[in-house]
A and B are shown apart, each in its own frame.
Chain A
């Protein structure tokens, strides 16, 4: 019986010929990523070694990545102290893949990992962040874990007790219309299968829409796969993956490509005609509360956010700048921009996108998670409404349970900035 993509990756990582859905396995980890919450993992790591007479040493310092992104620069003394402890940990444990608060190599973890070539096709990647699913865009089995589980990975080098998940095949064909992109596709899918529709399952993406999609776009779709409850989203690695890793991530070593078996067994197959999709909006307070843009057009917006690990990449900033160049953001709203990394920031600066956005009235902030998780840089006031290219709109997400968050693509966000209300980019954005 044929294996799905993730079954094949897991079989390799376990040194087995094959694995079946439901098998409990302990795959070798190729990359283990943490951000500021590494502080919690660090405490548990020390706890594991307590009373053992063994020196607390991570299994492989070259396979651990620590990237500061959630609260940078530190918003509080507590965060600054956690970051300081993690810096000491990085030095003591000789962890090589460390990205501090720096304008040359900093950024959001889910951009830094691909950008620096840390993720390769066929890898098992774990991260103490639910959006670790992003890295399925490069053909890795990548999923989120908690801090204690990360401490166990740092100790042993494999993930304990993984049940081989069933896979849902998502077959998407057709060309996306102008002003419709990967964000609209994933929002549509989440709306269709609901926020728990892929719980404990893998979403494996196929079809010519994905064949023709850039790695940047695939990262958007895999990033938000977790919002349908998926353990992981994954796109079989192909020529585009190789192009990205070589040209953009500077990877020079030989990469091996393999995909799912032709006779792989899928729990379910979902077919989508991408050519018929309109811009999609996730309405408060659930990511699966999806409407098309015309159904909510005219909703007044107080704050617009472009950026995050979902839509803070160069093509996202380009899309926003294309719409906002020479225009003004409505006086009744405000716009914050968070590029996903400093490399992206500098490139967007060179190409003039940041200038266009700033002249339109946007505030370009430092790369990082920013307003998305409601810690600092853009909390919402009581009864305010936000429109964001981020990935979550749960109650309280942007720091205020009395506020509302709508999610959309960069094109919708930019077009809406001009009017101050939710606006269809196909009508008002030109």
Chain B
């Protein structure tokens, strides 16, 4: 269970999630400070420690479009935020899976900032409005990476198994 701490619209690009001018920062311990850097109020709250882990960001269509920069997934993972979107852009989705960022594909989501959400299997519940929405499951092949604990662990296992 967690609260929606940010609601954004369609086509939120990786330039918004993690502006290009911070791309020289690559360590997962350092990327979180620049999360939504140009959405200054939200960024300030994150850095002040006012947003608990497991909080939700709710987005419209095509979240994470644009650049392949992995920092966009890495920074959100650093705060352990959960991203709900109607659907995600391809490279961002893949990066998020690879890093173990929790994502929920929910085409029918109706929710406002401040609402409490809860994931129950293949259903996303809006506890504030009482409404429930179906979650689109990730393809099974992607689930294997999540189950392994991310792509680093998955690749290591493949390496040790002789590819």
Where the two chains meet, the residues of A that have a C-beta atom closer than 8 Å to any C-beta of B are 24, 36-37, 39-40, 43-44, 47-52, 54, 70-71, 75-76, 78-79, 82, 128-130, 132, 144-149, 151-152, 155-156, 160-161, 163, 195-196, 199-200, 229, 231, 286, 373-375, 379, 392, 394-397, 399, 401
Bound together, the chains give a CA A49 to CA B25 distance in angstroms of 22
B102 within 8 A of A: no
A to B CB contacts below 8 Å, 16 in the list: A37-B70, A47-B152, A78-B25, A130-B66, A130-B91, A145-B94, A146-B95, A148-B152, A149-B95, A152-B154, A156-B155, A161-B141, A373-B23, A379-B21, A397-B13, A401-B38
B135 within 8 A of A: no
Distance (whole angstroms) from the CB of A13 to the closest CB of chain B: 15
A199 touches B90 (CB 8 A): yes
B160 touches A161 (CB 8 A): no
Closest 10 pairs (CB-CB, A-B)? A146-B95, A394-B13, A373-B20, A78-B24, A146-B70, A401-B38, A152-B155, A40-B26, A24-B141, A144-B68
- Taking A160-B151, A392-B13 as given, write out 11 further A-B residue pairs in contact, using a Cβ cutoff of 8 Å, ordered by the A residue number: A37-B26, A52-B160, A130-B68, A146-B94, A148-B151, A149-B95, A155-B155, A196-B87, A196-B89, A374-B15, A375-B20
Per the CB 8 Å criterion, the residue count for chain B at the interface is 47
Asked whether A161 and B21 contact (CB < 8 A) given A148-B98, A396-B38, the answer is: no
A residues in contact with B99, CB < 8 Å: 148
B residues in contact with A152, CB < 8 Å: 151, 154-155
**Which residues of chain B (50-107) have a CB below 8 Å from chain A?**
61-62, 65-71, 73, 87, 89-91, 94-95, 98-99
A195 touches B139 (CB 8 A): no
A146 touches B98 (CB 8 A): yes
A396 touches B62 (CB 8 A): no
Q: Which of A40, A144, A401 contacts B91 (CB 8 A)?
A: A144
A229 touches B89 (CB 8 A): yes
B residues in contact with A78, CB < 8 Å: 24-25
Q: Which of B15, B27, B87 contacts A394 (CB 8 A)?
A: B15
Interface centre among A37, A39, A129, A379 (most CB of B within 10 A): A37
Distance (whole angstroms) from the CB of B36 to the closest CB of chain A: 10
Closest chain B residue, CB of each to CB of A149: B98
Bound together, the chains give a CA A356 to CA B140 distance in angstroms of 57
A163 touches B20 (CB 8 A): no
